[in-house]
Amino acid sequence: MARLRDSGRLSRSTAALSGNPTRLLQPETVSLYGFAVFGYITASFASFFLGQEAGAKDGEVAAASDLAALRQEIALLREDLERTEPR
């Protein structure tokens, strides 16, 4: 019985029987924390590389200057449509 208690198999079941829920939540809390840290690091890398791509002139990600140019072109097209269409 001492070997089972040392291995942790019996400690989880006795923690549930004794009404100590914190022993049951510790592994789950640690794993959730690990997933959160991994997600944060992954998001940091992704934002760094996307920022690098957006700054490149020949990159596939649209930069703010590209979006501003598109908005200006749309505004010019609207003006052309208003001049050519009778209302």
What local confidence, expressed as pLDDT, does residue 20 receive? 62
What local confidence, expressed as pLDDT, does residue 68 receive? 83
81: left (phi over 0), alpha (psi -120 to 50) or beta: alpha
Give residue-wise pLDDT tens across range 23-52: 666 888 889 999 999 999 999 999 888 777
Give residue-wise pLDDT tens across range 49-79: 877 766 666 666 666 677 888 999 999 999 9
3-state helix, strand, coil in the chain (%, to 5): 85, 0, 15
19: left (phi over 0), alpha (psi -120 to 50) or beta: left
* DSSP conformational letter for 1: -
How far is C-alpha 5 from the chain's CA centre?
Answer: 40
